Amino acid sequence: MSQPLLRVDRLSRHFRVRRQGGAGRQILRAVDEVSFSVERGRAFGLVGESGCGKSTLARALLRLIEPTSGRVWLSGEEITALDRRALKRARRRMQMIFQDPFASLSPRRTVAQIVREPMDAHHFGDRSERADRAARLLERVGLGAAALDRFPHEFSGGQRQRIGIARALALEPSLIVADEAVSALDVSVQSQVLNLLASLKQDPGVGLVFISHDLAVVQHICETVGVMYLGRLVETGPADRVLSAPAHPYTRALLDAVPIPEPGRPIGGRALAGEVPSPLNPPPGCPFHPRCPKALPICATRRPSTIELTEDSQAHRVDCHLHDPEIGA
């Protein structure tokens, strides 16, 4: 069978930071040996709470920050092995959409200039082709050519995010990484932009990495989900399985914490105790064990290995001792 669009193998990004209140440096493992893949026409959702490393991972995939170790392939080409010139060429095929569309759009340029910018930088077609394409892209994201000569401040948040999406599509990328792309939007426009993002997958060559703290949003867009905790993927699998029958107690806790618009449910008893520990000083064994309602004695001492829960192609993996046939209850 054909190779996946994106393959990530044991990717890590560590930072050396000054030891707090002391001499010397220590290692912060922001992303630690993360592996997953994204198929064409599909979306991979990356969920986790702030500081779990999901945004660092997104940037490391595109080498916007350099990974410490591990490998990334896009359409079979090893991105992590490219020199700078080759990387610049490869960047055409990988684009990012950010949370705050206002911060990522230059206020002094017209929408036409903003959408053309990546095409200019990569010498995509001639001038008139670029202008045509910019107009078509704006139609594609639902803004219409009337937007071309206006400036970002004239648009609402949802419309600005559409401009950001049009710009990301300008070079016909095969991989789109969206980092909290709808988090700043109000509900009534969030769903419009979500539907637009979901429609990008209709292009059979395109795959999405969709980063969000919102599980419901991820479920709507993604076929596969990865859950991050303290820099590691603790559970990966098909979205319908992970969100309906989560294997990792942390995934369960995340799901239980989401407020549900159904009145009358008693509040209380669902909140996970404690806080995310400092990534500078992660707990030994399973990093989730101090907060885990199901922790076994072994969880405090031995780091769980990755357990395959299924044998079909829809791999469902979890890093949890409870699922280890030699340990689990």
Partner 1 sequence: MSERLLEVEDLSVEFATEGGVIRAVEEVSFGIDRGATLGIVGESGCGKSVTSLALMGLLPRPAGRVVGGSVRFDGAELIGLDESRLRKLRGSEISMVFQEPLTALNPVYTIGRQIAEVARRHLGLSRSRARERAIEMLARVGIPLPDRRIDEYPHELSGGMRQRAMIAMALVCRPKLLIADEPTTALDVTTQAQVLEQIVTLQREFGTAVILITHDLGVVAETCRDALVMYCGEIVERAATEHLFNTPRHRYTQRLLEAMPRIRSRPLTSLPVIPGSVPEPDRLPSGCRFAPRCAHSGSRCELERPRLQRLEDSDVACFYPANVEADGAAT
Which residues of the chain form contacts with partner 1 (CB under 8 A)? Answer: 49-50, 156-159, 186-192, 194-195, 198, 213-217, 219-220, 239-240, 243-244, 253-265, 267-268, 270-273, 275-276
Nearer to partner 1, 24 or 259 (CB): 259
Q: What is d(CA 35, CA 209) in angstroms, rounded to the nearest whole number?
A: 13
Considering the complex, state which of residue 158 and residue 207 has its C-beta at the smaller distance from partner 1. Answer: 158
**Of 73 and 229, which CB lies nearer to partner 1 in the complex structure?**
229
CB of 86 to partner 1, least distance (A): 38
Phi, psi of 295 (to 5 degrees): -60, 140
Cα–Cα distance between 162 and 88 in angstroms, integer?
Answer: 25
Q: How far is the CB of 54 from partner 1 (least distance, A)?
A: 12
The minimum distance between CB 305 and partner 1, in angstroms, equals 25
Q: CB-wise, 255 or 298, nearer to partner 1?
A: 255
The DSSP bridge partners found for residue 176 are: 95, 208
Give the contacts of 2 (CB within 8 A, at least 6 positions apart).
none
CA torsion through residues 239, 245, 248, 251, sign? positive
Shortest spacing between CB 10 and partner 1, in angstroms: 27
Cβ of residue 195: shortest distance to partner 1, in angstroms? 6
Q: Which is nearer to partner 1, 26 or 195 (CB)?
A: 195
Instruction: Look at residues 260, 192, 179 and name the one whose alpha carbon lies nearest to residue 218.
Output: 179
Minimal distance, residue 14 CB to partner 1, in Å: 23
CB of 279 to partner 1, least distance (A): 13
In this structure, what token pair is assigned to residue 292?
């885990």
Query: Rounded distance, CA 20 to CA 1, Å?
Result: 50
- Pick 149 or 186: Cβ nearer partner 1: 186
User: Strand (E) positions, the chain?
Assistant: 6-18, 25-38, 43-47, 69-74, 77-78, 94-97, 175-179, 207-212, 224-229, 232-238, 306-308, 317-319
Nearest CA-CA partner of 46 in 187, 186, 218: 218
Query: With respect to partner 1, which residue has the nearer C-beta, 204 or 259?
Result: 259
Q: Rg of the chain's alpha carbons, rounded to an integer?
A: 21
Nearer to partner 1, 24 or 263 (CB): 263
Taking the CB of residue 294, how many other CB atoms lie within 10 A of it?
14
Smallest gap from Cβ 89 to partner 1, in A, equals: 36
The answer to whether the CB of 93 falls within 8 A of the CB of 122 is no
Q: Give the separation between CA 171 and CA 303, rounded to whole angstroms.
A: 43
